[in-house]
Amino acid sequence: MTAVIDTCVIIDALQSREPFSADAQKLFLAVSNRQFDGILTAKS
């Protein structure tokens, strides 16, 4: 499976913005563990 990840999700994970940071970090961990492929948008 492949998911398109919006730039806002990246910012949520990197800046620990609540209440979204925990879910955003879980998403990136799942991608790094190769549970699915993540594609980042070039322009948002």
pLDDT of 30 higher than 80: yes
Find the domain containing 9 and state its range.
Answer: 2-40
The token duo for 35 is: 């549970």
Give the Cα separation of 27 and 44 in Å (integer).
19
Give the Cα separation of 16 and 7 in Å (integer).
14
Please give, one letter per residue, the 3-state secondary structure of the chain: CEEEECHHHHHHHHHCCCCCHHHHHHHHHHHHCCCCEEEECCCC
pTM greater than 0.85: no
Give the pLDDT confidence of 13-27 residue by residue, as tens digits.
Answer: 999 999 999 999 999
In the chain, the number of structural domains is 1
